[in-house]
Amino acid sequence: MNFKRYMLLLVISSVLVLAACGGDEETTSDDTDINYSEEVDYTIIGIEPGAGITVTTETAIEEGYDHLAGWELEQASTAAMVTELESAIANEEPIIVTGWNPHWKFAQFPDMKYLDDPEGIYGDAENIQTLVRNDFESDHPDAYEIIDRFYWEVEDMEEIMYEANESGLDIDEVAQQWVEENADAVAEWTDGVNEGDGSTIELVSTPWDSERASAGVLSAALESHGFDVEVTPVDPSIVFESLSSGDADATVAAWLPFTHADFYENVQDDVVDLGPNLEGAKIGLVVPAYMDIDSIEDLELAE
Ligand code: PBE
């Protein structure tokens, strides 16, 4: 609504400028430059308060970029962010969201772009890493072997998220199907490993679609090899705490080295890092491509 009022004012003021110039001059570029910061009310549409990207964005506002002083980070849920994004795009209105890949939305809206982050607050390419509790290897060497080998591609994860959204099926169900249809990939993780003895492996994960997909695929693969698996979705901070306390066995949901850096630092010595299970993830501030803005540096001090 703001945007429409602004456009109306813009049209009126252009007419006035043209009138003042006797109609023989074009408007200057300053007249048509949109102040996106004001348009979005100096507000970034964020997601859940407990997310890593929420903490990172608070750092960007409070420490990273002086001219973001006074900006707000709206925090509710991923679903609320997606709803606001959809409605902004439908009306070609400006919006700035906290965004990440892999995410099925980017498959549906390829015309989105990350704002450049010259201060490097959001980091570069991110991995999704596998962590296990100390002693997990000696307690469950066979499950450990499969979890250690678990590795897949951005496209695989996005395929599952996208399929679940298109079909309305639960991500777990789509992940189960993926395991049945991708026997070659699963064989790379399980070949030569002893069958499970039916003992239960406790995976801990986060509630986003990306990690529901990876936890779903890994548990289906483990179950196809004779293990029982329980998956508990919790906030990122709890993922790290429950591994360090030994309450959970493993996670494939750690976004490192940036997104979950603060959580990881607290428990670093009490968990075992098995490295990336997916490379090429990313987080940052994201805008629709129709916004003529490229960098966080282009945002302006709140008034
Ligand atoms: N995310 C998706 C999560 C991790 C997975 C980027 C929204 C976060 O903690 O920010």
Q: Which of 121, 129, 208, 214 to mutate to test the pocket of ligand 1 (most atoms within 8 A of CB)?
A: 208
State the pLDDT at residue 107. Answer: 56
208 alpha carbon – ligand 1 mean position (Å): 7
Which residue CA neighbors atom 5 of ligand 1 most closely? 208
257 alpha carbon – ligand 1 mean position (Å): 13
Q: Which of 53, 105, 204, 240 to mutate to test the pocket of ligand 1 (most atoms within 8 A of CB)?
A: 53
Surface-to-core class of residue 86, CB atoms within 10 Å of its CB (0-12 exposed, 13-18 middle, 19+ buried): middle
Instruction: Evaluate if pTM is beyond 0.75.
Output: yes
Q: Is the pLDDT of residue 193 over 60?
A: yes
Of the chain, the percentage scoring pLDDT greater than 70 comes to: 88
Spatial CA neighbour of 13 closest among 38, 30, 1: 30
Question: Which atom of ligand 1 is found nearest the CA of 236?
Answer: 9
The mean pLDDT value for 221-226 works out to 97
Residue 47: partners with Cβ closer than 8 Å, 6 or more residues away = 53, 54, 75, 76, 77, 78, 80, 81, 98
53 alpha carbon – ligand 1 mean position (Å): 6
Question: Which atom of ligand 1 is found nearest the CA of 98?
Answer: 7
State the pLDDT at residue 7. Answer: 40
19 alpha carbon – ligand 1 mean position (Å): 52
Cis peptide bond prior to 257, omega within 30° of 0: yes
State the pLDDT at residue 111. Answer: 87
Q: Which residues sit with their C-beta closer than 6 Å to ligand 1?
A: 47, 51-53, 100, 206, 208, 210-211, 236, 255, 259, 283
Question: Which atom of ligand 1 is found nearest the CA of 78?
Answer: 7
End-to-end CA distance of the chain: 20
Q: Which of 240, 283, 285 to mutate to test the pocket of ligand 1 (most atoms within 8 A of CB)?
A: 283
* Helix H or strand E encompassing 279: strand 271-288
51 alpha carbon – ligand 1 mean position (Å): 6
Both tokens assigned to 149: 């080998």
68-118 pLDDT tens trace: 999 999 999 999 999 999 999 999 999 999 999 998 776 556 689 999 999
Q: Name the band, by pLDDT with cuts 50, 70 and 90, for residue 303.
A: confident
Torsion of CA 132, 137, 138, 139, to 10 degrees: 60
Of 2-16, 160-174, 214-228, the poorest mean pLDDT is in 2-16
The mean pLDDT value for 223-251 works out to 98
Contact 280, 129 (CB under 8 A): no
State the pLDDT at residue 254. Answer: 98
Question: Which atom of ligand 1 is found nearest the CA of 260?
Answer: 9
Q: Is the pLDDT of residue 164 over 80?
A: yes
Q: Is the pLDDT of residue 11 over 80?
A: no
Surface-to-core class of residue 4, CB atoms within 10 Å of its CB (0-12 exposed, 13-18 middle, 19+ buried): exposed
State the pLDDT at residue 32. Answer: 55
State the pLDDT at residue 17. Answer: 36
Q: Name the band, by pLDDT with cuts 50, 70 and 90, for residue 4.
A: very low
Q: Name the band, by pLDDT with cuts 50, 70 and 90, for residue 25.
A: very low
Contact 109, 81 (CB under 8 A): no
**Measured between alpha carbons, how far is 6 from 92 in angstroms, rounded to an integer?**
13
Per-chain mean pLDDT for the chain: 89
Question: Which atom of ligand 1 is found nearest the CA of 211?
Answer: 5
DSSP strand E in 28-125: where? 43-45, 72-74, 97-101, 112-114
The mean pLDDT value for 255-279 works out to 96
The mean pLDDT value for 204-231 works out to 97
Question: Which atom of ligand 1 is found nearest the CA of 255?
Answer: 4
194 alpha carbon – ligand 1 mean position (Å): 34
Strand 250-256 to strand 228-233: parallel, antiparallel, or no bridges (unpaired)?
Answer: unpaired
Between 103 and 137, name the one with better pLDDT.
Answer: 137
DSSP 8-class letter at 128: E
Place of tokens 């390829």: 110
11 alpha carbon – ligand 1 mean position (Å): 41
The mean pLDDT value for 24-31 works out to 41
Q: Is the pLDDT of residue 126 over 80?
A: yes
68 alpha carbon – ligand 1 mean position (Å): 22
Strand 97-101 to strand 271-288: parallel, antiparallel, or no bridges (unpaired)?
Answer: antiparallel
**Any bridge partners for residue 12, and if so which?**
none
The mean pLDDT value for 60-74 works out to 96
**Exposure pattern of 130-143 as b/e (b: 16+ CB <10 Å)?**
bbbbeebbeebebb
**Measured between alpha carbons, how far is 171 from 235 in angstroms, rounded to an integer?**
18
Helices (H) and strands (E) in the chain, counts: 14, 9
